[in-house]
Amino acid sequence: MTTARVYKDLEPDSAYAFKPEDLEDDEMILNMGPQHPSTHGVLRIELKTDGEIVKDARPHIGYLHRNFEKHAENIDYQGVIPFTDRMDYVGSMANSLTYAMTVEKLMAIEVGERVKSLRVLVSELQRIASHLLAIGTYGLDIGAFTPFLHCFREREKILDLFEWLCGARLLYNYNWVGGVSHDLPEGWTDKARQFLGEFSPVIEELDDLLSLNKIFTDRTATVGIISPELAVAYALSGPNLRGSGIKWDVRREAPYCGYEKYDFEIPVGQGRYGPIGSCWDRYYVRVEEMRQSVRILHQALDKLPAEGDVHEKVPKRVKPNPGEAYARTETPRGELAFYIVSDGGLIPYRVKGRSPCFVAMGLFHEIARGEMIADIIAIIGSLDIVLGEIDR
Amino acid sequence: MAMKRPALEAKISNFLSPLVIAGAGGFLVVIAILPKIAEMIRTELQSALSPTWASVVNIALGVGATVFLVAQLPIFLIWFERKVAAHVQDRLGPMRVGWHGVLQSFADGIKLLFKEDIIPEGADRPLFRIAPVLVIMGAFAAFAVIPWGHGLVISDLNIGLLYIVAITSLGSIGILMAGWASNNKYSLYGGMRSAAQLVAYEIPTALVILVMVIQVGSLNLQDVIAAQSDGLLGPNRWFVTRMYGLNLIAFVIFFICGLAETNRNPFDIPEAESELVAGFHTEYSGMRFAFFFLAEYGAMWLVAGVAAILFLGGFVGPYFSGPLVFFLKTLFLVFVQMWLRWTLPRLRVDQLLALCWKYLIPITLAVLVAVAGLSVQAG
Amino acid sequence: MKEYLAGIWVSISTIAIGMGVTLRHLFVPSVTQQYLADENPEARWKSQIVPEGQLNERSRMRLHVKIEDCIGCKQCEKACPVDCIYITTEKREKDEAPIFASDGTAIKQRVVQFDIDMSLCCYCQLCVYPCPTVCILMTPEFEFAETSKENFLYRFAKEKPLQPPAEKKPQEPVAAGA
């Protein structure tokens, strides 16, 4: 067949891909290729299927590899921050926060209270925006076209708030080493409160339209079961881990930016419509997290210190002492961490990003066996992957 | 540089939009006075030609009018669907191409005409070419028995309902052919799923029609409407209000089966956009793809029309009768179909079949037994 | 049997609730903002949450340089993470009249080349902060699409070099299709 010839020419020695010679009777290799409406980026998944049942699945990544870690070895510390934005482009506030925290740890800088509150504000807003995108596109994968647009309508408001704050809608370059780039403009907090007031009924409406819909729960609550032991064995984190019933949140375990002062709950999957750890549980943990984020945001807006210079602790030249540092935060996708090695110069020696989505893809083949093709889409959507973060 | 709307585009749009809107308005007017027009034409022909020739020309005109209507309907329905979809999603829909997008369907049609006709290498060429024809034929041939008013039907078959069920199942062969002939794994999946779905959902459709036939006593569509000639009140009222709600259950089941027969969401797994790119019509381009599209909208209208005839009285309305009443009822049911599409997620293929075999068929059988019992009792 | 009927009831009720939500949205006014640059340039941005007119202030769109204020310190060139700014300066002759930037700083260099390759710019705004005279800005102007890549190399410098060989060549933009 023509298709088989083309693939062989491109990857002559790929030991990882399925070999057509190994197929048994009735089995077929189906390629959900890099260009696909539902793989949330350029992800290629090779499926060995027997009719509709998947016998084995192998994800191929690397189509979005942009040499982030190599770039970071050639640019000064503050200049790496736009690059970290582009890792997980859906939740870029969280990436730059983690990086900035790591460098601050390296240089032993302690930021002021106002900076911490601002960082919490934007992180939680970013969490809501990212979860809205995850939920909307998950509905789209399952076939419900309308919640996608309703979620994006709310996301527009958040992006407008961010544009008002720092000038960009998606890739902000906001968290700097030692502070943040802009202070809040006049009236921002009032408009943020207005947004929160308008947003809470939307989550309820989303429940009516999508989350509790019987067709949706039938599609998602019985597939992609990740048992707690499997989740811990594969080092999952974030909503994927909490969907399996384990209460683990970096904001509670290793608080940063003053998270210990805020009062919020950690939602976990409870197996409401099926076994614990199903796709529906992971999806609903994200919906609940949005509610908790709204709670944190109200507290942060109330407790915002009135004074404080956001550029106070930003060093003129970032030149840390030789050493290494590792810092982690809870991003919308899980536990993101940066490991930075410094040799005493203006440019980092090594920057490594530990990406939660990469870890989640590692367990994909375990949960994909035995499911149908339609369920593969549901599983990928529920893991909420962003290829920018996986490939860096 | 800021983008400016080309002046020529604005001129064409401002010239053609009023024409299209006037055409739609004229179409509605013609439908409203269709009985009178038909009567006039019949008397003219009978006075001018011999009886056989008069009936032949009459039927030919009827066929021509139906073909014209059925060809124009998808154009309107596509625009309607896009606008309904947009407003449900808080958007505006097509606005640029003509006033509020009325020229959009024409623009899409012209674009599809100009597209390159690609047949993939390794595809089964004869089957690839025939498949769209079968699908569109299955959808459009059933319009031959749909009555638009008293005596306004092309062919008054005594087995009208059976004919409709038979002809629409030809479409499923076409879809299976399209899936197989494309030499594409995704299309094959789409075709297989669709075949299973369509064949399975024929059964509740036929059973529900049987439920109605028990109450009417004949398969002739004109008789079905005659049995509902009293409007909303009276012994011969619309079927959906009779039989203590059993007919309402039958209506809902027929509607669900109709959605499944036309591959609409929540049953659109054969053309599942986010999973199989475009399912069985992935490899089709240009006018062949347009055929599948037209067939889908034609079948949508057909299902809504048959539902209106069987349950809602056809062209017999609560206050006045006529083709316009039938048109409006069908349009409303088509709107409900679109409303469901933009609300619900998709069912997986095994859940779809489970719905059919485990839920719809037992319930329909129960309704059938109950209705048969009640009919026997009523004499 | 009970599960069977409960399943039917749950399906119908959740579908009906969903349809109710959708129907309500049919009557909510649309939030689309149409691109009406040709008809009404002011009616462009109506953010749902931000008061009108406030959005544009900090927006990071097109770079602009007020070349009269540039003192040639090259801080922006060093700060740019993607190296899209190319500056060449020459020392001013001693006998030339002193010139000043608008905030009073003395300009000691002549800026003979100040090129910004906007196709490389990543819109991070890191070049704006180090500038002592605030002469490089990111403006809210977003409609600057070009039809060829060469037009994206913005040349701001006005002065001519006195010694020709000292010019630094920026990397040649690759022509489309090459």
Q: What is the CATH number of the domain that holds C136?
A: 3.30.70.3270
* CA distances from residue B82 to A40, A92, B79, B113 in whole angstroms, order as listed: 25, 34, 5, 21
In this complex, do C81 and A79 lie within 8 Å of one another by their Cβ atoms? yes
Q: Which of A141, A215, A372 sits opposite B266 (nearest CB)?
A: A215
Q: Which of B1, B87, B89 sits opposite C145 (nearest CB)?
A: B1
Determine, yes or no, domain membership for C103.
yes
Angle between helix axes B170-181 and B160-168 (nearest 10 degrees) is 10
On whether the CB atoms of residues A317 and A186 are closer than 8 A, the answer is no
Q: Is B354 on the interface with A (CB under 8 A)?
A: no
On whether the CB atoms of residues B17 and B98 are closer than 8 A, the answer is yes
Q: CA quadruple A363, B345, B82, C20: dihedral positive or negative?
A: negative
Q: Which of B2, B88, B95 sits opposite C22 (nearest CB)?
A: B88
Q: Which of B4, B90, B92 sits opposite C25 (nearest CB)?
A: B90
Chain position carrying tokens 């196709």: C119
For C126, the closest chain A residue by CA position comes to A79
In this complex, do A165 and C10 lie within 8 Å of one another by their Cβ atoms? no
Determine, yes or no, domain membership for B372.
yes
On whether the CB atoms of residues C19 and B340 are closer than 8 A, the answer is yes
In this complex, do B3 and C35 lie within 8 Å of one another by their Cβ atoms? yes
> Which of the two residues, A101 and C103, has the higher pLDDT score?
A101
Chains with 3 or more CB pairs under 8 A to chain B:
A, C
Distance CA B115, CA B113 (A): 6
Tell me whether strands C109-117 and A179-180 are parallel, antiparallel or unpaired: unpaired
> Which of the two residues, C112 and A39, has the higher pLDDT score?
C112
Determine, yes or no, domain membership for C98.
yes
For B91, the closest chain A residue by CA position comes to A149
Determine, yes or no, domain membership for B175.
yes
Closest of A97, A154, A85, A103 to residue A123, by C-alpha: A97
Q: What is residue A199's predicted lDDT score, i.e. its pLDDT?
A: 92
Determine, yes or no, domain membership for B215.
yes
Closest of A379, A357, A358 to residue A368, by C-alpha: A379
Determine, yes or no, domain membership for C18.
no
Q: Which tens digit of pLDDT belongs to each residue from A293-335?
A: 999 999 999 988 888 888 888 888 888 889 999 999 999 999 9
Torsion, Cα of B128, B129, B132, B137 (10° steps): -130
Tell me whether strands A27-32 and A44-50 are parallel, antiparallel or unpaired: antiparallel
Determine, yes or no, domain membership for B9.
no
Determine, yes or no, domain membership for B15.
no
Residue A288 has pLDDT above 90, yes or no: yes
Span A192-204, mean pLDDT? Answer: 91
Q: Which residues contact B339 (CB under 8 A, 6 or more apart)?
A: B84, B88, C19, C22, C23
Q: What is residue A286's predicted lDDT score, i.e. its pLDDT?
A: 93
Determine, yes or no, domain membership for C121.
yes
Span A170-175, mean pLDDT? Answer: 90
Span A357-363, mean pLDDT? Answer: 90
Q: Which chain B residues are closer than 8 Å to C144 by Cβ?
A: 1
**Which regions in chain B score pLDDT beneath 50?**
274
Which residue stretches of chain A are H helix? 2-10, 68-72, 77-85, 92-107, 113-142, 146-166, 188-206, 214-220, 228-233, 239-242, 250-253, 279-303, 356-362, 364-368, 373-383, 387-391
Q: What is the 3-state secondary structure (H, E, C) of B88-140?
A: HCCCCCCCCCCHHHCCHHHHHHHHHHHCCCCCCCCCCHHHHHHHHHHHHHHHH
Distance CA A244, CA A280 (A): 10
C-beta contacts of B5-10 below 8 A and 24+ residues apart: B5/B96, B5/C38
Chain position carrying tokens 């992180």: A123
Q: What is residue A12's predicted lDDT score, i.e. its pLDDT?
A: 47
On whether the CB atoms of residues A308 and A113 are closer than 8 A, the answer is yes
Residue A122 Cα to chain centre, angstroms = 15
On whether the CB atoms of residues B124 and A182 are closer than 8 A, the answer is no
Domain count, chain C: 1
Q: What is residue A103's predicted lDDT score, i.e. its pLDDT?
A: 92
Nearest CA distance, A163 vs chain C (angstrom) = 6
Distance CA B370, CA A91 (A): 58
Q: Extract the tokens encoding C12.
A: 């119908």
Q: What is the pLDDT along chain C (178 residues), one digit of tens a residue?
A: 888 888 899 999 999 998 898 888 888 888 777 765 555 555 555 666 766 666 677 888 888 888 888 888 888 888 899 988 988 888 877 777 777 777 777 777 888 888 888 889 888 888 888 888 888 888 877 778 888 888 888 888 777 776 665 555 666 666 554 4
Q: Which domain holds residue B309?
A: 29-378
Q: What is residue B1's predicted lDDT score, i.e. its pLDDT?
A: 54
Q: What is residue C178's predicted lDDT score, i.e. its pLDDT?
A: 43
Query: Which amino acid does the sequence have at B284?
Result: Y
Q: Is A135 on the interface with B (CB under 8 A)?
A: no
Nearest CA distance, C80 vs chain A (angstrom) = 7
Q: What is residue A297's predicted lDDT score, i.e. its pLDDT?
A: 93
Determine, yes or no, domain membership for B239.
yes
On whether the CB atoms of residues B266 and B346 are closer than 8 A, the answer is yes
Q: Which of A81, A82, A156 sits opposite C48 (nearest CB)?
A: A156
Angle between helix axes A113-142 and A146-166 (nearest 10 degrees) is 160
Determine, yes or no, domain membership for C168.
no
* DSSP conformation class of B343: T
Q: Which tens digit of pLDDT belongs to each residue from A217-245?
A: 988 988 989 999 999 999 998 999 999 98
Residue A6 has pLDDT above 70, yes or no: no
Determine, yes or no, domain membership for B24.
no
Distance CA B346, CA B330 (A): 24
Determine, yes or no, domain membership for C73.
yes
Altogether, the residues listed in chain C come to a count of 178
Q: Which chain B residues are closer than 8 Å to A219 by Cβ?
A: 345-348, 351
Which domains does chain A possess? 2-60 (no CATH), 75-391 (1.10.645.10)
Highest mean pLDDT among A4-8, A352-356, B237-241, C26-30: A352-356
- The backbone torsions φ and ψ at residue B158, rounded to the nearest 5 degrees and listed phi first, read -75, -15
* DSSP conformation class of A210: I
Q: Which residues contact C131 (CB under 8 A, 6 or more apart)?
A: C73, C75, C76
Confidence of residue A96 (pLDDT cuts 50, 70, 90): very high
Chain position carrying tokens 């000064």: A76
Torsion, Cα of A89, A35, A46, A358 (10° steps): -10
In this complex, do A214 and C14 lie within 8 Å of one another by their Cβ atoms? yes
Q: Which domain holds residue C112?
A: 62-162
* CA distances from residue A165 to A120, A122, A187, B357, C74 in whole angstroms, order as listed: 14, 10, 11, 57, 28
Q: Which chain A residues are closer than 8 Å to C48 by Cβ?
A: 156-157, 160
Determine, yes or no, domain membership for C67.
yes
Determine, yes or no, domain membership for C91.
yes
Q: Which residues contact B4 (CB under 8 A, 6 or more apart)?
A: C37, C38
Q: Which tens digit of pLDDT belongs to each residue from A175-196?
A: 999 889 888 888 889 989 999 9
Residue A146 has pLDDT above 60, yes or no: yes
Q: Which chain A residues are closer than 8 Å to C58 by Cβ?
A: 163-167, 182, 185
Distance CA B48, CA B44 (A): 6
Instruction: Please report the number of interchain residue pairs, chain A to chain B, with beta-carbon separation below 8 angstroms.
Output: 82
Residue B316 Cα to chain centre, angstroms = 20
